[in-house]
A and B are shown apart, each in its own frame.
Chain A
């Protein structure tokens, strides 16, 4: 398997390179119009100037958050698609984003941020996400067995219910609140609290690490739950832990950055086209490319119609969709073994 290891290492190195490239690009580009030639001297010696501040206080935090959120969503996507053996599953299918959005909605409308300060919005988003996770989990467990199809259906149902509730709240809310809600839901990588950004980075990194403990299990689950049992995998424990892991990653990402769709769905598929379905390589490559993808989309979102900014979720949808369809038509796509 040395050849495999070499191939994998090359893939990872290439993606790291792409990630660094995208990060550097994003750092140098923006509506402030700092010319390219000035970037390096600025980084080295420009401390204290406005431009330095723009690079490191405005752009860099967005890049880092983009990496963290993009990889968290991609990892969650890989895990869920592996667990469900369903290529259409993505982190938001389980209703987690609905719960988070509902939590934030209630917070804004009930003016809870007076109490909690600037952290109360992510906190309420996370709380909403957790409640949905618990609800979905308990509704899908019969006699100690977690039914996979049940998870999916319950998640979709809860998504619908939370969307309706959110629309209800929006219909009766004041205009200032309405704007707050809409913009939060549309997703944004602009986060003033650096500690929060660090927390997301930490959780994403830990998520990646923990997911690797289940890489083999995911490979076995791809053969079916019964087959995995025959191979000695404790499928109940695995399903439970994977579900919790994917939900936490998603909940964390959504509470801080809002609903940024498509990343968790498309990035794993895309990487599967290039590196295959073995989760040992799929997890890390999806995390890296998911981060790069989100950073790129965010960069486009804030420069295309400068000085106005588009919501990043819009860009991920359009750009992601176009790229995916293009590659789909070119290469033969193998989803879960079916050609």
Chain B
């Protein structure tokens, strides 16, 4: 599960220097599933000539030429597609990124976003690069409005303690410095995860902190197994009130500005059960 998680755990954040251009790129290769989805949101999918095998959403993205995985690329394939822009993520192999630059291909790297506002900023930057600044602005505006309306709805409600588990064996939880933390915060919860970059955690610590809600971000059976394990600890509030929820990792882990809001709604529903 972690591997899959790795493959989609990427976010946008402008980080590399982009050359000033007059014409907008017409042949784009995206090396991150979220980048792919964002290109579709901006309506420039016909300029997308290649993506990774993990770029499966929206369904049309599956029909594009595949140039490798999120972490390892096939440089020859990329070259034959003659791209004028390649969008990479921090997971992309650094040496291969270097090689692409040596071959004279324009490369833009988006670093991992750690919050909703960073996601929005990066989306705006992407819009600027492909010449769809206005569209990007509109989408971000809409998303931000939705988020503030959600904030209004839940204002004044009690803040339950939430643990978001994103890895099993070893136990890995969302830290306070991640976008999942934003999900929790904006949904009106308190993330009991650690601060910093490492989410390695011990179950003992969780028992000590006694969260009211546990959200397991995973795919398939692993989630069920983890839920069973948590249920053994009868002293946990989350267990007593039966508030251990499983959320699909694909949706959660590669949010665009738009999907972030959708997931946020879902999480609000999990955290504040009685809110309409």
Contacts and interface: CB of A to CB of B under 8 A. Distances in A.
Interface of A: 30-33, 50-51, 53-54, 57-59, 113, 118, 121, 171-176, 178-180, 183, 188, 190-193, 302, 306-309
A308 B101 CA distance: 20
B170 interface: yes
Contact of A309 (B9, B72, B79): B72
B168 interface: no
B197 interface: yes
Interface stretch (B17-25, B92-100, B264-272): B92-100
B75 A113 contact: no
B79 A53 contact: yes
Contacts of A180: 93-94
B86 interface: no
B79 A32 contact: yes
Interface in B87-138: 90-91, 93-96, 98-99, 101-103, 112
Contacts, number: 86
Nearest to B90: A176
Nearest to B98: A192
B198 interface: yes
A171 B80 CA distance: 38
Interface stretch (B63-71, B140-148, B208-216): B63-71
A58 B6 contact: no
Given A31-B76, A50-B82, A176-B112, A190 B95 contact: yes
Interface of B: 2, 5-6, 9, 53, 66-69, 71-72, 74-77, 79-80, 82, 90-91, 93-96, 98-99, 101-103, 112, 170, 197-198, 200
B94 A113 contact: yes
Q: Nearest 5 pairs between A and B by C-beta?
A: A192-B98, A192-B99, A307-B74, A32-B76, A176-B90
Nearest to B2: A175
Contact of B95 (A50, A59, A188, A309): A188
Contacts of B197: 174
18 contacts: A32-B77, A50-B80, A51-B80, A58-B75, A58-B79, A58-B103, A121-B94, A121-B95, A171-B170, A174-B197, A179-B71, A180-B94, A183-B72, A190-B99, A192-B96, A193-B98, A307-B66, A307-B74
Given A54-B80, A57-B103, A308-B74, A174 B68 contact: no
A307 B77 contact: yes
A58 B76 contact: yes
Given A32-B80, A118-B94, A121-B95, 11 more contacts: A31-B77, A50-B79, A121-B94, A175-B5, A176-B112, A190-B75, A192-B98, A192-B99, A302-B74, A302-B76, A308-B74
A99 B99 CA distance: 26
A171 B202 CA distance: 13
Nearest to B93: A183
A256 B60 CA distance: 39
Contacts of A30: 76
A265 B268 CA distance: 59
Given A58-B75, A175-B6, A302-B74, A308 B68 contact: yes
A339 B5 CA distance: 53
A176 B111 CA distance: 10
Contacts of B99: 58, 190, 192
B50 to A, nearest CB: 9
B85 to A, nearest CB: 16
A192 B91 contact: no
A54 B76 CA distance: 6
B74 A171 contact: no
Contacts of A121: 94-95
A168 to B, nearest CB: 11
B67 A192 contact: no
Contacts of B69: 308
A180 B77 CA distance: 22
Contact of A54 (B6, B71, B79): B79
Given A30-B76, A53-B79, A174 B95 contact: no
A121 B93 CA distance: 13
B209 to A, nearest CB: 20
A199 to B, nearest CB: 16
A50 B79 CA distance: 7
A306 B73 CA distance: 10
B217 to A, nearest CB: 14
Contacts of B200: 171-172
Given A174-B197, A175-B9, A307-B66, A53 B103 contact: yes
Contacts of B94: 113, 118, 121, 180
Nearest to B102: A192
Pick the most buried of B66, B68, B99: most chain A CB atoms within 10 A of its CB.
Answer: B99
B79 A179 contact: no
B21 to A, nearest CB: 21
B79 A192 contact: no
A309 B198 contact: no
A170 to B, nearest CB: 11
Contacts of A178: 6
A302 B74 CA distance: 8
Nearest to B99: A192
A191 B77 CA distance: 17
A179 B77 contact: no
